[in-house]
Amino acid sequence: MLHKNLIAGEWVAGDASANINPSNTNESVGEYARASADDTRAAIAAAKTAFPAWSRSPILERHAVLKKTGDEIVARKEELGRLLAQEEGKTLPEAIGEVTRAGQIFDFFAGEVLRLSGEILPSVRPGIGVEITREPVGVVGVITPWNFPIAIPAWKIAPALAYGNTVVLKPADLVPGCAWALVDIIHRAGAPAGVINLVMGRGSVVGQTMLDSPDVNALTFTGSVGTGKRVALSSIEHNRKFQLEMGGKNPFVVLDDADLSVTVEAAANSSFFSTGQRCTASSRLIVTEGIHDRFVAALTERMKGLVIDDALKGGTHIGPVVDESQLKQDVEYIDIGRREGAKLAFGGEQLERSTPGFYLQPALFTEATNQMRIAREEIFGPVAAVIRVKDYEEALAVANDTNFGLSSGIATTSLKYATHFKRNSEAGMVMVNLPTAGVDFHVPFGGRKGSSYGPREQGRYAAEFYTSVKTAYTLA
């Protein structure tokens, strides 16, 4: 079966592309159509045509579409979780958790549809009333990455539709399956023709056509820094709203007074789970001298117990790297770390399993410095570097010495240091005695510096991007 693109309410065929399982490269998860530039332009036109009616649709209609979508996602979480694990390589429990989160996101924004509000204020001029309202921005282009193939499309599409926008979705070419399933659910939940459009395919074709279109009124993107800059430049040219999430080099600070068992579990989760393929993952473990050796020994012991295998196998802690290109990048950075003088304390070996796949043992470097490439550049794999520091003050300075600013964490039992770190960490999200990866769906998500640009995603803060403020004056 060929999974087709959805354009103007119709399923449209295109050149077929196989969706390969990274746990077993002999297995194809399915055949998915690749859209052409003309298909993409047709999808944008369909969204533009559908916008006037959808933007003025009754709130109960929009509520019903989002509620039905969320309910079906949750009802099918086992099935969709299996699909996600097969196409992306997350372990099955992680994949089911991600699917559940996608359903919760749609449920949250179904509620937000019924909570749309504005303000009525008196004017400084007698006899005049002032109304402040929010209106949808228009056609929203959505470009999503491969590492969260259903949650990230969900947290962009759900608010876009809730606030009355129409959507053109371009998922990562590597993982079209979950995006196709999500759009199919929204379509069958009653979204009118053209309200949600799916154009799968290459970024150089589909993504570029979206960037070039003057009819895309807002563009939300999660992915690499390089592509994010292209999104920004094209958006400035067309005077469109744009929102960027572009990754991180997240620090996890460990102080002498930390609870070692809690700290090691948080560090292992932050650095290596989901194969390290999370923009919120910790790849810099900044550890003070008094606990350094004990922490490294305990974390190494924890890493020895991690099971790396097929994402669908019971008992697997870490699945494969997503594809050959990403595996090659991870291995190259491990070689770079060695050449820079860091000590490979554990792991970093390519593994063989019962099926051919992209298996990599998580790698832990010690004796790293914050000037090394492995501490400056985003690797996006299960590779972490321990940086030894003298005290809290040095730890904070090293943590903030980065071009990124998405997430950060600290392990400490000191209220003083926890409070100071929360205030002074130059990151959009701060965790205390928790993994740096793992966030709630109803609160803001986003970072600073090179990690993010534009309004926050998720929760009520999503309205900042997906709506435009209008001020109206009326003479009484």
Known catalytic residue at 279? yes
- 112, 279, 378, 457: the active-site residue: 279
- 94, 98, 245, 378: the active-site residue: 245
Q: Using H for helix, E for strand and C for coil, what is the string for the chain?
A: CEECEEECCEEECCEEEEEEECCEEEEEEEEEEECCHHHHHHHHHHHHHHHHHHHCCCHHHHHHHHHHHHHHHHHCHHHHHHHHHHHHCCCHHHHHHHHHHHHHHHHHHHHHHCCCCCEEEECCCCCEEEEEEEEECCEEEEECCCCCCCHHHHHHHHHHHHCCCEEEEECCCCCHHHHHHHHHHHHHCCCCCCCEEECCCCHHHHHHHHHHCCCCCEEEEECCHHHHHHHHHHHHHHCCEEEEECCCCEEEEECCCCCHHHHHHHHHHHHHHHHHCCCCCEEEEEEEHHHHHHHHHHHHHHHHCCCECCCCCCCCCECCCCCHHHHHHHHHHHHHHHHHCCEEEECCCEECCCCCCCEECCEEEEEECCCCHHHHCCCCCCEEEEEEECCHHHHHHHHHCCCEECEEEEECCCHHHHHHHHHHCCCCEEEECCCCCCCCCCCCECCEECCEECCCECHHHHHHHHEEEEEEEEEC
List active site positions: 245, 279
